[in-house]
Structure 1
Amino acid sequence: MLVGSYNVLLVAVSWFVAVLASYTALDMAGRIATARGRTVYWWLAGGATAMGLGIWSMHFVGMLAFRLPIPLGYDLPITLASLMLAIALSAFALWLVGQSRLPLPRLGGGAVLMGLGVASMHYTGMAAMRMSPGIHYDLGLFTLSIVVAILASGAALWMAFRLRQHSRHVRMLRAAASLVMGLAIVGMHYVGMSAANFPVGSVCGAASSGVSAEWLAVVIVLATMAVLGIALLTSLLDFRMEVRTSMLANSLEEANQELAYLALHDSLTKLANRALLEDRLAHAIQAAEADGGRFALIFLDLDGFKAINDAYGHQIGDRLLIQVAQRITARVQSRDTVARLGGDEFVILANVQEAADAGRLAESLVEALHERFIVDVHELSVSTSVGIALYPADGASQHELLTNADAAMYHAKSVGRDTYCFFEASMNASIHQQLLLMQDLRVAIQRRELVLYYQPKFTAHEGSVVGIEALVCWEHPERGMIPPDEFIPLAEKTNMIMPLGAWVLDEACRQLAEWRRERHVEWTLSVNLSAVQFRHASLVDTVRGALHRHALDPGWLTLEITESTAMRDADASLHILQQLHEMGVCISIDDFGTGYSSLLYLQRLPATELKIDRGFVRDLAHDTEDAAIVSAIVALWRSLNLSVVAEGVETTEQKSFLTALGCHSLQGYLLGKPMRADVLDQFMQPGGVPA
């Protein structure tokens, strides 16, 4: 037998080509697994060509590394046939690992077919030498080479299938796997070469007419490296483009999800918005109709929120709303829907079966929102009015339920706030009247329907007029005279209180300036501020502007705020009142004794006047307890050098008692009723009488 030898360099090159071909195979399997549509076929064709050429090149370089003491060559048609066989085998392998599943029977069958094909390719390449006499193969080694080919093919298929999906360390794993696969392929080749025996006197029939081995090795290696390099580069570029496309798609998906979320949720509190509430309400009605179920729609509106928003700004108001939403969410069940309709209005779709359950939930919400809130460094207080509508008793449609829950909420406000009410049919008529009244109120100023009445304030001892208090009334063209306690609360629920209050202040200042200029009186002017008006950020500028327009000394103006308004947030009140005091405006605490005050806070306020509530004055002659309270109030505030005014004086007994106590000024129907400016002019003439 002829003794062969190997070119060590080409042996090393064959192993390197095997590793590179293995890595290319694994990478192509990954590209095919992630491709879609017709792209799969392009990657399958390109991958099969690159992978087949790589495997065939390894085998052929390995054969070229083999040397015999006779000239060698290779028949070109047979060599090309072995290449085509390698490409076909690669296409089959890539198709197999591109399937969604690779069960063990399919893996085993594929390994056998591919192993036999690889062996066929190898021995076809050996036949390209056209040895004469023919090559004798050792049966044992021949069989072993086929077994190694099958095992190597099975391992390659399994690794390619497992590593076809992109993951964090997939390229490192593919590199490691390609080293193992390269060794297996090289091992199969050299076991097959060991099985070949060349008899003495053998001649290579392709030595003279075939392709020269010297330059064939260089051409094959260079061509194979170029093809594999191009395939890997193309795969890498496509992968990067796929990653970028995937990132863009994910970004677009996230943006669409965010847009969908924002379309159905309130951007501030992250609660459901009106659109989502209406959708959930429609489903709740359908479900209740189907199984005879019931549920409650609970409408909440915060009392005092507008004042906080105006006094501290929208940032503090927004943070307060977020805390309110958190407290509401904490009190409801996870299957309930909590929505914010805008501003300080919240709605709860509660899955309850009994009215008592809805009542308990509403009571829990009132308690939760009654507790003080800490927003930044501010300690804030709000209350809530809650209306409840039950399905199906209080409405069979979304509109009816929302309208009736809203009506019940407004009824809760009218009966004292910080409470809850169930809907009753009579409430709709009341709410309808209020809505009509609010519509008329919007144009009342332009139509000059609002008019100021002035009630004089008298010194207790001399009985002379020292000041006037401006009171606004509404001369409605159809309903007649409407007192302020009927329309001021309506104005406070909207932004109408601000233009209305500004008009009252400006008109009263104009009238006082006229009286002082033409009548030469030394009266002072008292104007009442509502709670919402007092907390509004524009209050100080509004007061300053009115005084400037009518050239009034700030000391001639007294602004009256109720005790409860001053004490709702004492620190904020102190800040506002201090600004007015520094301007020179006088401050009067109205309705004193009706709230729950801290004398420690009250004495810090820059007030110059205190008004005793008419409730204490009414029964002075009959109720010794009220007399004791009034006596204590007068003594306390006189000791602090504050002026004390008693309102609601209607009898001579009350006048005498209050004068004896030391009140500085008195107001009441006994002395002078509220009257229009022209009537007050007549009243102040010598011999004039109250109208």
Structure 2
Amino acid sequence: MSRSLYWKITSPVLLIALVGTLSVSLAAPYLLEWFVTQTAVDNAQQQAATFRNIRNYYSEQVVAKVTGSGGFNVMADHQLSAEGVPVPATFLIEMVDYDKPQELVMTDLISPYPFKNRIERKMDEYQKRAWKAVQANPDEFYVELLEQDGKMMVRAAQADRLNAPACVACHNNHPTSLKRDWKLGDVRGLLEVSTVVDGWLERGVWISRTLSGVTLLAFALVMLVNFRVARQVSEPLNRISGSLRSLSRGEDRGLSPEDYQYQEVESLADAFNGFSEKERERKQLAHKVEMLAYTDPLTQLANRTGFQQELDKRMSESAERQALVRIWLVDVDHFRDINDTLGYEVGDKVLGLLAEALQRTLPADTLLARLGEDEFGVLLDVAADTAEWSGLEYMAEQVQQAVSEHLQVAGRTLKLTASVGAACSSHDAENGQELILQANIALHQAKALGRNRAVIHSPELSAAVTQRVELVHDMHNGLELGEFVPFYQPQFDLQTGALIGAEALMRWQRKDGSLMPPGMFIPVAEQSSLIVPMGAQIMENACRDCQAWQAEGLEGIRVAVNVSSVQFADDDLVALTRAVLEKTGLQPALLELEVTESGLLAEVDEVIASLQKLHELGIELALDDFGTGYSSLSYLKTLPVDRLKIDREFVRDLLNSSDDQAILRMIVELGKQLNLKILAEGVEEAEQLALLKASGCQEVQGFYYAKPLPLNEFIEYAKNYSVAETTV
């Protein structure tokens, strides 16, 4: 849950103030007690040291001299004799007891082993505790802060040791001593210093209260400043956030100029005003963009987006309005030729004139849109009870007539034609996109039938497209499953009859063993570019199979692989061939690539460069279906090919056509002049074979020898092949 920035700023200071004050209040008594106790202990240490020094001085300077004169005796009860001098301990006790009630600092010397004359001096409870403590640690003071006789005092006691041999002798030999086995360093008693600390505590309490008051006052001042700063920050932020909310609702409410206290807040306000200005500009631009988004700037018709939006709207309301939605897609035939020959400026003028002509032809309630460079869309509603095709053909004819009007542009008279595809929402189209798809299918069919015609969509057209899509999908799956395999048709040396090679022909062998005829899938594969991965797979399999039959004793028999025009246009053909040879280990001389004339007609220079790179790999190149193209002879001398393959169309009627025989002789002679081998395919009869041999053709293949065979059958055929059986 979000919190107010005002409290976010002030609450930490308030919390710190409360915690600080509480901490001072709670800690002050303990600190005061510690301070008073520590001070009293320091005084006690000094006092104890002083008394020890006095006792030592008395023992060394007074007692020694007095007793040395012989007139006095050192005794504990010196009051009983005029010649008695007090022993050092008695002297010290009597000195500290002198005028004790008037002292704030009092000293006492007491022992659990008193002489007889001090037998009445008993240890109080504190002294008993102190005696136990100093027994355990004689070098430390035992300290307590306690109340006694209505006064607070610090009592500190330390061990009183026998630190001189004379003291040990005195205590061991004294007639009233309770203990006679004293040793040097033994703890004889306690030296206690008691300090009355009432005055100290009172002054400490006054100081503590004063500090607490000063602390509270300081915190109050800090809080006051903090509250003021927080207000100066939060209130402008609230105004800015309120303006932002208004702006989000579309209300253009800027901030009025104010004297802000802080540069950061002023900068934020300036940034908001700048953003608000940009937002106004954005809305104006968005309005322009929206107009552009739905309008074609050239013809001022609706564009594809506007057409799609209106179509979707009418489709969603068609059931409620009890209406059918119909559309026509109009594609101007060969319009690109106008742009290429007359220029784009003329093309734009033609499009403008076409738009005007169509608008004059169509009913007033029709939506006309420009969907692409040379494509228009027509949208019209009709009553739901209208016959399904009623008016569709008539409207298509009207549209074609409008397009075919003579147009005068740039001093030229143009007569155009159009292909039209029509669709109606009665064909189960659930939305505008599906209806456009149906019209597109009809338009493509009109183009396929030769253009300049109109086609109305039917379920059968969609079924054909669906079948093609499913075929492409199945081909994708077949490619992943490795269903496309090479079958091999043997090739022979016509002069010697020797088996010299095999052409790898692509076959689609389903997992159930059925074969799909090549004519049903290869054209679709080339249109969908699937022929590229399929051809790569066939090339690798063919090279691997060729390597396999070399190991079976069929050395020197090459394999020929077809390369489609789509594959040849692919930039990776050279790299693919090199990679396949390296992967399979096949000798390059055993691989031949067959390229059709149609695949060589695009960029001759690039074609020659690619063929040269392939030839440099060490493989052979063959020109397949020779003679069926249009410009073979013009560039044949520049192509690095090794073999020409005569198309089966020439071989089929060779026996009955003198023209085909003449073409055959010409091709054979051309091959001799260019040092090229000639291979005829499609040989099915012995008479054809004899005629080919007589003409000088070197190599042949066809059903006369064998149909295309799977690998195992081809190897078996090659092993059992006898030259004598097929020699003509």
Pair 1:297-2:329 in alignment: yes
- Is the 2:488–2:502 contact (alpha carbons within 8 Å) kept by the matching residues of 1? yes
The answer to whether the 8 Å contact 2:621/2:643 transfers is yes
- Describe how 1:130-141 pairs up with structure 2 within 5 A: none
1:355 aligns with 2:396: yes
**Amino acid across the alignment from 1:646:** A
How far does residue 507 in structure 1 lie from its aligned partner after superposition? 0.5
Quote the Cα distance in structure 2 between the aligned partners of 1:442 and 1:534: 21
Distance in structure 2 (CA, Å) of the matches to 1:536 and 1:614: 27
| 1-structure distance, mates of 2:453, 2:607 | 25
1:493 equivalent in alignment to 2:527:
yes
SS at match of 1:659: helix
Mapped contact 1:611–1:645 kept (Cα < 8 A): yes
Deviations 1:163-214 (A, max 9, x none): xxxxxxxxxxxxxxxxxxxxxxxxxxxxxxxxxxxxxxxxxxxxxxxxxxxx
Supply the distance in 1 between the matched residues of 2:474 and 2:601 (Cα, whole angstroms). Answer: 33
- Give me the whole-angstrom Cα distance separating, in 2, the residues matched to 1:685 and 1:419: 58
Q: Matches of 1:477 and 1:455 in 2, distance apart?
A: 22
Please report how far the alpha carbon of residue 504 of structure 1 lies from its aligned counterpart in structure 2 after TM superposition. Answer: 0.6
Q: Which residue of 2 aligns with 1:507?
A: 541
Question: 1:420 and 1:577, CA in 2 relative to 1: closer, same or farther beyond 3 A?
Answer: farther
Distance in 2, Cα, partners of 1:675 & 1:576 = 31
Alignment of 1:66-105 (within 5 A): none
The separation in 2 between residues aligned to 1:565 and 1:418, in whole angstroms, is: 29
Structure 2 Cα separation of the partners of residues 292 and 419 of structure 1? 24
Q: Among 573, 576, 581, which residue is 1:542 paired with? A: 576
1:345-390 deviation digits (Å, cap 9, x = unpaired): x9752579633466689999xxxxxxxxxxxxxxxxxxxx988334
Change in 2 beyond 3 A, CA 1:500/1:39: closer
Three-state SS of the structure 1 residue aligned to 2:720 is coil
**Are positions 1:278 and 2:308 aligned together?**
yes
Q: 1:449 to 1:612 in 2, by over 3 A?
A: same
Structure richer in helix, relative to its length:
1
Q: Which residue does the alignment assign to 1:460?
A: 494
For residue 430 of structure 1, report the CA deviation from its aligned partner: 2.5
Quote the residue 2:651 is aligned against.
617
Following the alignment from structure 2 to structure 1, what is the Cα–Cα distance between the partners of residues 403 and 714?
Answer: 50
Instruction: Note if 1:673 corresponds to 2:704.
Output: no
Name the aligned partner's letter for residue 278 of structure 2. L
Distance 1:600 1:627 in 2: 22
Partner of 2:465: 431
How does 1:515-530 map onto structure 2 within 5 Å?
515-530=549-564
Equivalent residue for 1:133? Answer: none
Question: Are 1:337 and 2:370 an aligned pair?
Answer: yes
Q: Is the 8 A contact 2:324 2:425 kept in 1?
A: no
Structure 1 residue 496: Cα displacement? 2.9
Mapped contact 2:562–2:593 kept (Cα < 8 A): yes
1:600 to 1:429, Cα distance in 2 relative to 1, 3 A: same
Alignment of 1:17-416 (within 5 A): 244-245=274-275, 248-249=278-279, 252-253=282-283, 278-282=308-312, 295-297=327-329, 333-334=354-355, 335-339=368-372, 348-350=376-378, 354-356=395-397, 388-391=421-424, 398-408=432-442
Q: After the TM superposition, which of the residue ranges 504-513 and 567-576 deviates more from structure 2? A: 567-576
Checking the alignment, whether the CA contact within 8 Å between 1:587 and 1:607 is kept in structure 2 is yes
2:634 corresponding residue in structure 1: 600
In the alignment, is the contact (CA less than 8 A) between 2:539 and 2:561 conserved in 1? yes
Pair 1:470 & 2:504 matched: yes
Give the deviation of 1:38 after TM superposition.
8.1
**1:12-57 CA distance string (max 9 Å, x none):** xxxxxxxxxxxxxxxxxxxxxxxx98879x79xx9xxxxxxxxxxx
CA contact (8 A) 1:646 1:666 kept: yes
Mapped to 2, the partners of 1:543 and 1:361 lie a distance apart of: 54
Structure 1 counterpart of 2:279, one-letter code: A
Question: Which residue identity lines up with residue 488 of structure 2 in the other structure?
Answer: Y
Secondary structure at the aligned position of 1:389 is classed as strand
Residues 1:410 and 1:681: Cα distance change in structure 2 (over 3 Å): farther
C-alpha contact 1:350 1:358 (8 A) present in aligned 2? no
Which one of the candidate residues 639, 648, 651 is aligned to 2:673? Answer: 639
- The yes-or-no answer on 1:652 pairing with 2:686 is yes
State the Cα distance separating 1:255 from its structure 2 match. 7.8
Q: Distance in 1 between matches of 2:576 and 2:344?
A: 31
Q: How many residues align?
A: 416
Deviation at residue 559 of structure 1 after TM alignment: 1.3
Deviation for aligned residue 1:259: 8.5
CA–CA separation in structure 2 for the residues paired with 1:504 and 1:301: 39
Quick check: 250-259 or 330-339, which moved more? 250-259
Tell me the residue number matched to 1:134. Answer: none
In 2 relative to 1, CA 293–491 (structure 1 residues): closer, same or farther, beyond 3 Å? Answer: closer
Q: Structure 1 residues 276, 336: CA separation in 2 closer, same or farther (over 3 Å shift)?
A: closer
Once the two structures are superposed, what CA deviation does each residue of 1:67-102 show, in whole Å capped at 9, x if it has no partner? xxxxxxxxxxxxxxxxxxxxxxxxxxxxxxxxxxxx
Report the more deviating stretch, 630-639 or 245-254. 245-254
How far apart are the structure 1 equivalents of 2:449 and 2:252? 70
Q: TM-score, normalised by structure 1?
A: 0.50
Instruction: Give the drift of 1:568.
Output: 3.4
**Which of 492, 499, 516 in structure 2 is aligned with 1:482?**
516
Residues 259-298 of structure 1: per-residue CA shift (max 9 Å, x gap):
87999899xxxx9998666325436879999999964136
* Cα distance, 1:511 vs structure 2: 0.7
TM-superposed CA distance for 1:244, in Å, is 4.7
Q: Which amino acid aligns with 2:309?
A: D
- Cα separation, 2, equivalents of 1:598 and 1:650: 26
Which consecutive residues of structure 2, in runs of 5 or more, have no partner in the other structure? Answer: 1-250, 259-266, 335-339, 356-367, 380-391, 406-417
Partner residue in 2 for 1:16: none
Structure 2 counterpart of 1:354, one-letter code = M
Q: Distance in 2 between matches of 1:362 and 1:623?
A: 48
SS at match of 1:641: coil
1:576 matched to 2:610? The reply is yes
The 1-side partners of 2:584 and 2:401 are apart by 55
Q: Structure 1 residue 687: deviation in Å?
A: 5.4
The equivalent of 1:662 in structure 2 is 696
**Structure-1 separation of matches of 2:521 and 2:663:** 32
Change (3 A) 1:488 1:38: closer
Instruction: Kindly name which structure, 1 or 2, has the bigger radius of gyration based on alpha carbons.
Output: 2
CA 1:437 to 1:358, structure 2 compared with 1: closer, same or farther past 3 Å? farther
Q: Secondary structure at the match of 2:503?
A: strand
**TM-score, normalisation: structure 2:** 0.48
Three-state SS of the structure 1 residue aligned to 2:589 is helix
* Counterpart-to-counterpart distance in 1, 2:288 and 2:619: 52
Aligned partner of residue 446 in structure 1, secondary structure: helix
Distance, in Å, in 1 between the alignment partners of 2:708 and 2:277 is 75
Distance 2:647 2:325 in 1: 52
User: What is the SS of the residue equivalent to 2:549?
Assistant: helix
> Hey, what's the Cα distance between the residues in 1 that align with 2:514 and 2:491?
27
- Identify if the C-alpha distance between structure 1 residues 646 and 392 changes in structure 2 by more than 3 Å, giving closer, same or farther: same
Identity %: 31
2:62 alignment counterpart: none
